[in-house]
Structure 1
Amino acid sequence: MITKDNYASEVKKYQPKPKLLRNCIKAFLVGGLICAIGQGLTFFYIEVFGFTEKTAGNPTVTTLILIAAILTGFGVYDKIGQFAGAGSAVPVTGFANSIASAALEHKSEGIVLGIATNMFKLAGSVIVFGAVSAYVVGLIRYLVEQFL
Structure 2
Amino acid sequence: MISKDAYKRYVEKNAPRSPMWRSMTAAFLVGGLICCLGQGVHDGIAAIFPAMSEEDIASWTTVTLIFLGAFLTAVGVYDKLGHFAGGGSIVPITGFANSVVSPAVEYNREGVFFGVCAKMFVIAGPIIVFGVVASVIAGLIGLITEAV
Structure 2 partner of 1:3? 2
* Residue 49 in structure 1 maps to residue 49 in structure 2: yes
In the alignment, the residues of structure 1 paired with residue 110 and residue 31 of structure 2 have an alpha-carbon distance, to the nearest angstrom, of: 33
**Worse overlay, 25-34 or 118-127:** 118-127
Q: CA offsets per residue over residues 35-55 of structure 1, 9 Å max, x none? A: 111111111111112322221
Aligned length: 145
51-60 vs 93-102, greater mean Cα deviation: 51-60
Spell out, residue by residue over 1:91-133, the C-alpha distance to the aligned partner (whole angstroms, 9 max, x if none).
1101111211100110111101110110023332111122344
Hey, what's the Cα distance between the residues in 1 that align with 2:17 and 2:112?
Answer: 43
What is the TM-score with the length of structure 1 in the denominator?
A: 0.84
Aligned ranges for residues 72-83 of structure 1 at < 5 Å?
A: 72-83=73-84
1:95 aligned partner = 96
Task: Report the more deviating stretch, 126-135 or 96-105.
Answer: 126-135
Give the AA of the match of 1:31: G
Tell me which residue corresponds to 2:119.
118
Moved more, 61-70 or 15-24: 15-24
Q: Which amino acid aligns with 2:84?
A: F
**CA gap 1:83/1:140 in 2 versus in 1, 3 angstroms:** farther
CA distance in 2, matches of 1:72, 1:94: 10
Distance change (3 Å), C-alpha of 1:140 and 1:86: farther
TM-score by length of 2: 0.84
Deviation at 1:138, TM superposition (A): 6.3
- Relative distance call for 1:138 and 1:16 in structure 2 (3 A) is farther
**Could you tell me how far apart the structure 1 residues matched to 2:49 and 2:61 are?**
12
Output aligned runs, 1:2-41, within 5 Å. Answer: 3=2, 5=4, 6-41=6-41
Evaluate the alpha carbon distance shift between residue 48 and residue 128 of structure 1 in structure 2; reply closer, same or farther with a 3 A threshold.
Answer: same
Confirm whether residue 60 of structure 1 aligns to residue 84 of structure 2: no
Identity among equivalent positions (%) equals 44
CA-CA distance at 1:135 after TM superposition: 5.1
In the alignment, structure 1 segments of 5+ residues that lack a partner are none
* 3-state SS of 1:121 partner: coil
Specify every segment of 5 or more residues in structure 2 that has no aligned partner in the other structure, as ranges.
Answer: none
